[in-house]
Structures are given as C-alpha cells and as structure tokens.
C-alpha cells in the first residue's frame, strides 16, 4: 500500500443490494428493461431494480467474484448482488479494484460455492480524489484494451487449432457414413458390454473406475478418476476384463466420447459407459475411436439418443450402428499415423495459446496490484 494514500473499507465505497429475480419468474415477461445473469444479457422485462448504472458481482455458483458493470434502468438475477457506488467514487475505479481481489479466500460452500459481502466488505480501499481515480482508470483502460485484444487473438488462434484437427478428421471419414456396403458394430467387435448399473464403492487408492468424465476424445482422462478396491474391481469386471486396445464409450454426459485403453492400465467400467473390443482382423482400435469421434458419425450415433435434458445412447443402437466402406488394416494404420501426428501438432499449438491466455490474465492481475499499491504510471506499463 502507498504510504501517502488514505484508506477506507470497501463498505465505505459501495452499498450492497439484493435481487429476488429468478429466470422462471420472468420467462413470460416482456418490456424494454434488460435483466442480466452470470452469462450476460437474459431478456427484457417491464420493470427495473436500479435507476443508475451499477456494478454486480456473482455471489452464488460458478464464477463467484466476477464483477460486471450494467446500465441504468436494468436488473440482475438473484445469484448476483448489486454493488452501488457511493458519492465521490468512480464506478470504473471500483470495478478495477474488485478485479484485483482474490475472492477464493472468501469462498463458502463445497457443492455450490458462494461469497458474502460481510466477508469482503473490509477490504482496504484507497480513498483518492475523483481526478486521481479517473487518471488511474484512464491508464488501466488503455492498457487492458491492448491486453484484451491480445487475449482475443490468442483465443481465436486456440479455436482455430482445435478446429483444424476436427476439420481434417471430418474429411478423412466423410465417406464412411453412407453407401450400399456396411457392417454393424456388433459384427465387427468380439464383445460389446454394458457397465454395471450401480455406483462402485470408492477408496483413496486402487483400480481406476472409468466414469463418463474420464472418457475424452480418444484418450482416458485420469486426473480425477475414482478408484476401487481389488474386490470391487473383480465384481465390476466379472463379465469381461478390460484390456489394452479395448475402447470405452460414454453413453451420457457427454454421450459419444470414446477412448482407447492404453498398455499396462487395469480399469473397470463406471456407470453409463460401454466396453467395445474390436476384432483384430477388422479394426485398429484407434481407427475405430477416430471414426466414432468424427462429426458425421457423432451426429448419426447421437441422433438415436434419448433423454430430454441429457443425451443417452442405447445399447441396441450401439450394437446396430452401421460402419460403411471399412478400410483395410494397412489403410487404417496409415490414417491413424496421420491423425496422431496432426493431433500432436495441434495439441502443441493449443498448449502455447492456453499458456499465452493464462499469462495475459496474470499480467492483468500484476497491473492491478501496482495500480492499487500506488505504483501505477504510464511508464510502469
């Protein structure tokens, strides 16, 4: 903190306000006054809560602590809280100040996180003349505009890198979804086995239990995998022991993802997954995984899905799924090699752009720390 600055508490700077608006209550409303939620504009209604422009902070659910600025004669939903600037405090200066607070230290709740104004209202706030507040805001606006432009470019490049692989994948398999000659997955696999329809008891260590969040696009995601005992593993694999080269397909959330079991990994199936073991004279496992992940095949597979809110693929549709114009093993091997090489390159690009985006966010935090420690001048940035 700058020694020459005078400080007060956040509660001296803003007045908090609550909202009782739920999306269900306003779904049939209409008007000219906007309502905002965590994701942004929701709809217009016939009333408003705030006469003047204001700040709002997400207080419940994902994104707690994220602050947004809203226009006069508008409202926010109940998962957000109004923060109304008091006299002699610049709204943008307050917004930048709040952007530098680590709200995780004020977090409550493990299932649905939330923050309370009483926990962060005592944050030390610099009591500066309006002219100085606005000088700092002007510098931050210019700096953050450049950072946001660089971040937008990095995000677009990240999107392009992901779409490059998806586009190539689509091109490889575009002729595999129609034709006069086909075979069903049931005929092309040694076995197709559904999971146990109950939750396996878990423990700290043991065998990975593969649930749908652990099924990625071609690979297993084991970072937060549940683990089970040897006894549970035996019970959950009594119909078939998953082997290297077998595929695990997610039937729900997200339906259609599929991953290949790597070497030297013993796993069992969690709920809403299916084990596929391709016949070795018909398929290279990775080829079948890539085929199922291609856009057109996904659309056909999921077109049979049921469920109003969560897509669910039925076992009979998986068994009866048609594979057209099956390539021979030599061609499959060539295609897998090409796709693996391209995916490796695009993943490198994704890592580069993700790191750049993270670095730009850290730069913002660093600049805000300087700004509210009294160290910000045009020369410091």
Residue 355 falls inside a structural domain: no
Model confidence at 305, in pLDDT bands (50, 70, 90)?
Answer: low
pTM, to two decimals: 0.73
In the predicted model, is pLDDT for residue 253 greater than 80? no
In the predicted model, is pLDDT for residue 380 greater than 60? no
pLDDT for 151-181, tens place per residue? 999 999 999 998 999 999 999 998 888 888 8
Query: Which of 289, 324, 359 delimits the end of a domain?
Result: 324
Same domain, residue pair 20 and 96: yes
> Whole-number mean pLDDT of the chain?
92
pLDDT for 45-85, tens place per residue? 999 999 999 999 999 988 899 999 999 999 999 999 999 99
Longest dimension (CA), the chain: 82
Report pLDDT for 2.
63
Same domain, residue pair 26 and 93: yes
Place of tokens 């939330």: 114
What's the CATH number where 217 sits?
Answer: 3.90.220.20
Report pLDDT for 344.
94
In the predicted model, is pLDDT for residue 309 greater than 70? no
Q: Any idea which of 191-200, 209-218, 233-242, 364-373 has the lowest mean pLDDT?
A: 364-373
Contact, 299 vs 291, CB < 8 A? no
Report pLDDT for 310.
63
Domain that holds residue 116: 7-128
In the predicted model, is pLDDT for residue 379 greater than 80? no
Q: State the pairing for strand pair 258-260/217-218.
A: parallel
Query: Could you tell me how far CA 174 lies from the centroid of its own chain?
Result: 28
Same domain, residue pair 290 and 198: yes
Residue 59 falls inside a structural domain: yes
Model confidence at 377, in pLDDT bands (50, 70, 90)?
Answer: low
Domain count of the chain?
2
Give the 3-state secondary structure of 267-319: CEECCCEEEEEECCCCCCHHHHHHHHHCHHHHHHHHHCCECCCCCECCHHHHH
Summarize the chain as % helix, strand, coil (round to 5). Answer: 40, 20, 40
- Token pair for 302: 């999921």
Same domain, residue pair 209 and 303: yes
Same domain, residue pair 206 and 110: no
Residue 271 falls inside a structural domain: yes
Give the containing element (helix H, strand E) for 120.
Answer: helix 117-120
Residue 375 falls inside a structural domain: no
Going by the DSSP 8-state scheme, the letter that residue 192 receives in this structure is E
Residue 117 falls inside a structural domain: yes
pLDDT > 70: percent of the chain: 96
The DSSP annotation for 41-99 comes to EEEEES--SBSS-EEEEE-BSTTTT-EEEE-SSBEE-TTEEEEEEPTT--HHHHHHHHH
Average pLDDT over residues 349-363: 95
pLDDT > 90: percent of the chain: 80
Average pLDDT over residues 376-380: 56
pLDDT for 108-152, tens place per residue? 887 789 999 999 999 999 999 999 999 999 999 999 999 999 999
In the predicted model, is pLDDT for residue 332 greater than 90? yes
Residue 82 falls inside a structural domain: yes
Average pLDDT over residues 340-346: 95
In the predicted model, is pLDDT for residue 375 greater than 80? no
Average pLDDT over residues 248-252: 93
Report pLDDT for 138.
94
Same domain, residue pair 182 and 319: yes
């Amino acid at each position: 903190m700058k020694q020459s600055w005078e400080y007060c508490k956040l509660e001296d700077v803003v007045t908090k306000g609550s909202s009782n608006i739920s999306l269900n209550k306003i779904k049939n409303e209409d008007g000219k006054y906007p309502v905002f939620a965590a994701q942004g504009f929701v709809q217009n209604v016939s009333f408003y809560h705030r006469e003047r422009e204001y700040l709002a902070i997400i207080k419940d659910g994902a994104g707690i602590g994220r602050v947004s600025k809203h226009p006069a004669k508008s409202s926010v939903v109940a998962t957000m809280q109004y923060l109304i600037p008091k006299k002699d405090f610049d709204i943008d200066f307050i917004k930048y100040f709040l952007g530098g607070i680590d709200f995780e230290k004020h977090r409550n709740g493990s299932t649905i996180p939330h923050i309370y104004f009483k926990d962060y209202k005592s944050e030390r706030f610099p009591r500066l003349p309006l002219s100085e507040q606005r000088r700092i805001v002007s510098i931050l606006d210019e700096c953050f505009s450049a950072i946001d432009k660089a971040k937008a470019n990095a995000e677009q490049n990240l999107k392009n890198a992901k779409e490059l692989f998806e586009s190539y994948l689509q091109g490889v398999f575009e002729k595999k979804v129609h034709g006069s000659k086909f075979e069903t997955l049931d005929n092309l696999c040694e076995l197709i086995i559904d999971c146990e329809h109950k939750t396996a008891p878990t423990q700290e260590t043991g065998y990975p239990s593969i649930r749908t969040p652990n099924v990625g696009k071609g690979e297993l995601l084991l970072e937060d995998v549940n683990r089970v005992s040897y006894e549970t593993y035996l019970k959950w694999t009594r119909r078939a022991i998953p082997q290297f080269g077998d595929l695990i397909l997610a039937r729900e959330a997200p339906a259609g993802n599929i991953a290949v079991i790597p070497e030297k990994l013993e796993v069992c199936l969690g709920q809403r997954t299916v084990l596929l073991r391709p016949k070795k004279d018909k398929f290279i496992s990775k080829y079948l995984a890539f085929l199922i992940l291609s856009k057109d095949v996904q659309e056909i597979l999921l077109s049979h899905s049921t469920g109003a809110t969560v897509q669910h693929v039925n076992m009979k549709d998986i068994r009866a799924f048609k594979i057209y114009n099956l390539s021979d093993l030599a061609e499959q091997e060539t295609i897998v090699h090409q796709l693996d090489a391209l995916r490796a390159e695009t993943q490198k690009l994704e890592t580069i752009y993700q790191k750049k985006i993270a670095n730009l966010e850290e730069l913002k935090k660093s600049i805000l720390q300087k700004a509210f420690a009294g160290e910000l001048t045009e020369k410091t940035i």
